[in-house]
Amino acid sequence: MKIDYRDGIKRLIKEYEPVTRSKIAEGVKWRGKIESNTLSSDERENLFRNIIGQILVQGRNAKGVETQLDKIEEKIRNWSLENIEKNIDDIIKRKDKKGRITRKYALASAILEHLRENNICKWILGLLEVDADIPHLGPKSDADFLKEHGFYERVPIDRHTQRFLFRTGALHWFFKKHSSEDVYTIFAGSYQQRIRLLEKCLVEFCKEFCSDVSIEKLNLSENPGILDIIIWRHCGEDEKLGCANICGIEPKCNICVFRETCLWDRLSQLMLGNPQQSEIG
C-alpha cells in the first residue's frame, strides 16, 4: 500500500489555509517591492533591522524565535541605518571573553559594509544563489529571511522541518529515489552539508507531490518555502505563536490530518500489532 503524500499535503494545507494565505499575501507585497526596487526609506530600514535580528537569534533556542525577533526589533525600531551602524556595539557583542571579534559582530559588520556600496534589493536577490559572492547570513537564516519576504524557492531547515521529514518518511523517500546511500549517512557530513541535503529533500518532495497544489496562485512545486510555513505551525510547540503542536515532541497522531499518509503512524500501528503493508513513494 503506497503512502499517498499528495493527498496528505492537500489535507495539511487545508487545515492551515487561512493563516497561510495571510502570510503569503504579506510576503508577496515585500517581494514585489524588492524585485522592482521600489522600497521606501522606511521599508529599507525595516529590512536592515530584520537583518540584525536574524543575526542575533542565530544559535539561540529555536523555541520562540519570532518573539526574540520582536523584542530585538522593538529595541531598534526607531533607529535609522546610520544609528544602527553607530551603535552596533550596543546591539551585538563585539568581542568574546578572549578578546576575539565575535562571529555575529563580524557578520553584521560585513553585511553593513556591503550595503553601504550596494543596493539592498540586489543583495536580497543574491541570497537566492547559495554561491553568490556576497556576505550571507547562513544557510537557515538566508532561507528564513527570504521566506519572510515572499521568496519561497528556499526552505529554512529548523527542528520542526527535520521532524516532519523524518517522521513522515519524506527523507526515506528522498534517499530511495535520489541517492544510493543509506539515509543514516546524513549524519556523517558537516552541519551545512546536512542542512543543504534536507533542504534539497523538501524541494524534491514538493516537486514530486505538490505539482497540483497552489495557494494565492503560487504552486508549491516551485515554492517549497510555503510548505515550511505550514510545517512550522503543525510541528511547533509554542501555541502562543500560533503553533498547533500536533507533531511536536510528543506527537498527537490521533488528531493529525496527515496521519494516514505518515510513516510514523504506520510504524506506531505496527508496534501496536496492527500491521499495514506500506511502500514509501
Predicted local confidence at residue 269, as pLDDT:
73
pLDDT at position 152: 97
Q: What is the pTM of this model?
A: 0.85
Distance of CA 154 to the CA centre of its chain: 8
Q: Which amino acid is at 171?
A: L
If one counts every other C-beta atom within 10 angstroms of the C-beta of residue 272, the result is: 8
- Cα dihedral 202, 208, 214, 219 sign: positive
- pLDDT given for residue 66 in this prediction: 56
Q: Which three cell numbers stand for residue 210?
A: 505538490
Q: pLDDT digit string (tens) for 136-167?
A: 998 889 999 999 999 999 999 988 999 999 99
Report residues of the chain scoring pLDDT below 50. 1, 62, 64
pLDDT at residue 133, as a whole number: 92
Residue 249 three-state SS: coil
